[in-house]
Structure 1
């Protein structure tokens, strides 16, 4: 029967193609599937265990989450996964009233998980704002950024990849743009170039010089001196991307299509 399904990958790896997107889900991850539309599933692990939960109704607000990885934040995802795994393993008989209550619990947990997924559109700007406020700190690593937002480092990288970016290149680009602004500011000409670089997180002057030249086509010193044609070579002030953003190519997958075990769990 056509409908919405929340799929939990317990073991192995699953690849879902639907709605023009491809989601590759590893163990512990969730993905939303609309079986009323064309889709393709491939189980890519050597051994795969998958739980599929059919959802009642049609959660229209969550349509944009089809074929997108869900549940990489701790807390809600672990709660939903633990409940579904325990329910699938429970062979005790339940009366109609118990089944209805259990179905309500499952539905509420799933909606909570999906609502968390919708929050990703607001999460990335918050993460970027957090980074911008700390650009001058040397220890601004993906691990630190992820921990500050209670997500895994892998999930952090995935958020940036969805925009065709990498975390490191975005941080580097934002730092370079602040350095460029300071070097172009007449009021800061008393600051040596290496001091400007250090205040925005570049510990090594040589590394900063190479990165600046790659981004703007000249050295920091020549830029500050006002080499013709250099002043306008920068991005808009509020641009989310930078000249140093790196597009991430789509990952290639390998494996086979054999399903080892699929356990259906129905949510009413």
Structure 2
């Protein structure tokens, strides 16, 4: 879905409130303050690639802040990727001040306070990525967020190019509906692309940290084991702990600084795998229940409820939206139920 916002559509007395609301709807709730006596002016073009938001923001001089109350009210905040295209300013997070200038790529963690201070008119390409999609520990994120990267080399260059291209695609979507050339299935792969490149950048920056503790060295092996056995319906904290000769309580301790528990992380990985499988043409002949079963879900009803809770629609609705010609698969002889 594509959206466009512009303060010129609101009466002058209501533009500040309109702009604050627009920023929150398009990307993330922020507290907006004028800079000096200059009024608020701004425009946003934004589109969603599933749960990843991408777009362009142009604005007059102003201050934007991700405050404690907004964080408390909004739950888990996403990672914010900002490619600065024009104007000057300063971003602040974790006590670090980051000069903003054309070409700078900045990564911020919306679960923690930050502030953006634009001394003049500004234009940015922005992407917000849910934290849980970046499959790395918070210790790595702490090293990568609240920082600026040069988009002229390495992984940061790839990420900057990706954000730039997706923002351009967003402009076509908002200016000419249905002309962006992206089928739902294509958008799913575009979404995964930005998640993968962002994860690579965070992993690169976080790899320099000396964890010291044995548990930090063990955690990547546990994660790899979970991914390798994700399709096993008997995978559980108990089986994972036994495979690594540790207690279940110690396994949970390994994940204590993670954004979710072991069990919920396993479920999210399985849901992501099913989400992709449901739009694979070669699997169109499988029922929704069969797709879920092959990814480790035992209960079809539990899978359907979990899928809707995360993505806002049923597995069957998701498949039909992305593969409208697939139809409803017939019941299989293996006993799997349909959607």
Q: TM-score range by the shorter chain?
A: 0.3 to 0.5
Give the TM-score normalised by the residue count of structure 2: 0.32
Larger RCO (CA under 8 A, 6+ residues apart):
1
Give the TM-score normalised by the residue count of structure 1: 0.40
Query: Higher Cα Rg: structure 1 or 2?
Result: 1
